[in-house]
Amino acid sequence: MTEKINELKRRTFLKQGLAGLAAVGALPGAARAGAGGTGGRAGAAATPIVRTLGRTGLRIPVVSMGVMNADNPAVVQAALEAGITFLDTAWGYQRGQNEKMIGQVVAGRARDSFMIATKIPGPNRDRSLQGLDGAPLEQAFLAKFDESLGRLGLDHVEILYLHNNSAPEHVQNPVIIGALQKVKKAGKARFVGITTHSNEPAVIRAAVGTKGYDVILTSYNFRQDHRDEMRQAVAEAAAAGLGVVAMKTQAGAYWDKEKQQPINMKAALKWVLNDPNVTTAIPGFTTFDQLKEDFSVVSDITLTAQDLKDLRLGETVAGLYCQQCGQCLAGCSKGLPIPDLMRGYMYAYGYRNLQAAHELVGSLDLGADPCGSCAACRAVCAKGFDIADRVKDISRLRAVPGDFFA
């Protein structure tokens, strides 16, 4: 029954929702033929904005799909049929089910009609790799990637990323760089790169300095206090020939936990894409309506006065997005990984992805009562989060069995 409903919704979406996209040329053939550029207004002659991903030469529409939160294959299928050509996933998403779903969707499709990026964590994020070095580390890392290829049902991906790096040394590990280059030489990944959620400018610059990467996937949005430094680091990466893909562009999706105040998704997406050094963004839509909304930006990234007003630039608003700046850490007497907990909070309340939040919180070294006997919280958030309240709230997930989310 669920499959029939999904197919009906997909057909309805393609019949009704894509009519407007077809009018502006936002269908697969038009997407491949688009001239590219930094902007364009929708109209009878408008075409999707297509940019080149640095020295890779890959031509990609400015709106792609982050599949992390999606569990409906019909939405992914509709995205491909709408003209999206680039799908982003990872070895750990949905405990491997995300890659398997993508594999099922792309099975039988012409291999040159889509591009896939996946990610493997290094020893800084994966406990199973910690303590390993040399050949054992390389072998364990490559085994995870081979598992990803098996799930996807592919003999190669366009991009393999070293996942989730927050310090320069994370992207400078010679063993991991060597493993990535082996993958590339073997043709299992056409290009390799790194991803970063925090301390992004320093990580980006370190990645550029290694000369071992082709692509950067980075958090980049209007809510970052360090957005000017981000723009400069992104420009430096682009000048060095690296392609830049933006994530976390929607900055948590909502201004409030109760989900009564949605962020203007189109405005948030256009804000990032107005940086010409960003090739594409990977918003994580999970419904046909979200797909329609986000992909409508593909041919027009003009920021209107109302868009800018909706983004509340210059206002002090807590929101749900944690910029991972780490300012809070010095004030926590318990040494809690507050930025990670705040990211889990965003997954739960912004993305509505309890499984991702549960996996993140479960990966942290936390006690049953993280805040313990602290009478008052001395950790101060740059965005004004009530840190103690959010830590206590999201930490409750530790008591939920993992198979509850299976």
Looking at domain 2-310, what is its CATH homologous superfamily? NADP-dependent oxidoreductase domain (3.20.20.100)
Cβ atoms of residues 347 and 339 within 8 Å: no
Instruction: State what percent of residues in the chain have pLDDT above 70.
Output: 88
> pLDDT by residue (tens digit) across 280-330?
999 999 999 999 999 999 999 999 999 999 998 878 888 999 999 999 999
Question: Is the torsion defined by CA of 29, 33, 38, 44 positive or negative?
Answer: negative
Under the banding of pLDDT at 50, 70 and 90, the label for residue 369 is: confident
Give the C-alpha separation, 395 to 358, whole Å.
9
The mean pLDDT value for 172-197 works out to 98
Q: Which residues of 99-108 are buried (b: 16+ CB within 10 A; e: fewer)?
A: bbbbbebbee
Of 294, 246, 234, the C-alpha closest to 267 is: 294
* Mean predicted lDDT score pLDDT of the chain: 90
Summarised one tens digit per residue, pLDDT across range 58-117 is 999 999 999 999 999 999 999 999 999 999 999 999 999 999 999 999 999 999 999 999
| Per-domain boundaries in the chain | 2-310, 327-405
Judged against a pLDDT cut of 90, whether residue 167 lies above it is answered with yes
**Structural contact between residues 156 and 189, judged by C-beta atoms closer than 8 angstroms:** yes
Most confidently predicted of 181-185, 358-362, 370-374: 181-185
Asked if 194 and 32 touch (Cβ cutoff 8 Å), the reply is no
- pLDDT of 6: 58
